[in-house]
Structure 1
């Protein structure tokens, strides 16, 4: 981000977000579709955690930003079976583990790569044709196996509210996700984006995923 005024504006937005979030809730800057210059400006302002959803785009950015030292990269997109090895190699945290079959594959490949990623299980607590995820029943049924898989560190749950819900309905959904995480003794909750973060924070989110509300519209 060569324009000093643009960098200053981004820094101001970051500080605004940090002031809004309560203790225990962290900002995940969703940098997918954003240029590396914007990420550099965010890092210079103090942001270290970034969310990406496309493996090829993310690995190119990570290589270009290697001079900044280790950053906290989170994979937040749909995890495809053929991309698991690349995701394991390039991300320490995965927010979108959405099936037992995928968890088994991820555990096997992580062991082969001698890595132990932190994982959040994606749950779908309302009908939503466009989203994948465990139902609460499915997650409970296979929980014993999931938490025993080698090379994975189960840390939390992730959910996305379907479009069209009112604020109260979103908060109810997020509260259900928080209750399920508490039942399973999982400390992390990845809930809330630019349009519904307030309801997510009120329900106990520990990670809010903010893209357009921080960087503006995506370039790609």
Structure 2
């Protein structure tokens, strides 16, 4: 049975989303039962960042083949194969070398994932990503890669930015995507998704504001 609180949270977010912005429900740390609740309410796109956790939940939700799985965590080179086997969308490809590896393994697996390139538009030692100039320099090689669909950019705002600074960052990311001819923008999380959506984000990644704040205990899963 769908809990009233889950339904209310989902509906409240849906009411505020622009027509051009899709909701990515960040289900990492939450059980398959919580995903099933939202799926019964029509939510189809879910984001995971821990591989073993995702594998277990995908198996438990095998009766929902229409679910759209997005990998949003840091993608380690040695986990590329199992990730491209299980996820149609990758939001965190942060280097040319990683993109090349994804393309090679995708060809071997006979898949063609949708890839968003992670960009770092402000100094932030806690996050990786292409600097804008590095991305521009690598763009001809990235664009030529087979067996991946380069569809957009992903960015995250560093901690400590105020609302005006976050809006400026999101606007810069949208401008860079337009410059490169990319249509998808993965920007905004539970604390700043409204600002990201206003700047043109096509995917907002919302976890705690949707699922609540009772994740599974960390020792239950291997971090990626």
TM-score (norm 2): 0.95
Alignment of 1:182 onto 2:141: no
- Stretches (4+) displaced over 3 A: none
CA deviation after TM superposition for structure 1 residue 12, in Å: 1.4
Distance in 1 between residues matched to 2:168 and 2:64, nearest whole Å: 40
Alignment of 1:193 onto 2:189: yes
Residue 3 of structure 2 aligns to a residue whose secondary structure is helix
Gaps of 5+ in 1: none
Give the total of aligned pairs. 216
* Counterpart contact for 1:38–1:215, Cα < 8 Å: yes
Could you say which residue in structure 1 is the equivalent of 2:17?
Answer: 21
Residue 66 of structure 2 aligns to a residue whose secondary structure is coil
The correspondence for 2:159, drawn from 153, 163, 176, is 163
Distance in 2 between residues matched to 1:202 and 1:208, nearest whole Å: 11
The correspondence for 1:32, drawn from 28, 32, 44, is 28
The correspondence for 1:109, drawn from 95, 100, 105, is 105
Residue 127 of structure 1 aligns to a residue whose secondary structure is coil
The correspondence for 1:9, drawn from 5, 9, 12, is 5
Could you say which residue in structure 2 is the equivalent of 1:134?
Answer: 130
Question: Matches of residues 54-69 of structure 1 in structure 2 within 5 Å?
Answer: 54-69=50-65
Residue 77 of structure 1 aligns to a residue whose secondary structure is coil
Could you say which residue in structure 2 is the equivalent of 1:219?
Answer: 216
The correspondence for 1:81, drawn from 77, 81, 87, is 77
Distance in 1 between residues matched to 2:132 and 2:203, nearest whole Å: 20
Distance in 2 between residues matched to 1:108 and 1:69, nearest whole Å: 26
- Deviations along 1:70-103, whole A, 9 cap, x unmatched? 2100000000000000000000000000001101
Distance in 1 between residues matched to 2:15 and 2:190, nearest whole Å: 15
Could you say which residue in structure 2 is the equivalent of 1:172?
Answer: 168
The correspondence for 2:201, drawn from 202, 205, 217, is 205
CA deviation after TM superposition for structure 1 residue 15, in Å: 1.0
* Counterpart contact for 1:30–1:209, Cα < 8 Å: yes
* Counterpart contact for 1:50–1:72, Cα < 8 Å: yes
CA deviation after TM superposition for structure 1 residue 8, in Å: 2.1
CA deviation after TM superposition for structure 1 residue 7, in Å: 1.8
The correspondence for 1:96, drawn from 92, 99, 117, is 92
Gaps of 5+ in 2: 218-224
TM-score (norm 1): 0.97
RMSD in angstroms over aligned alpha carbons? 0.8
Residue 66 of structure 1 aligns to a residue whose secondary structure is coil
Residue 100 of structure 2 aligns to a residue whose secondary structure is helix
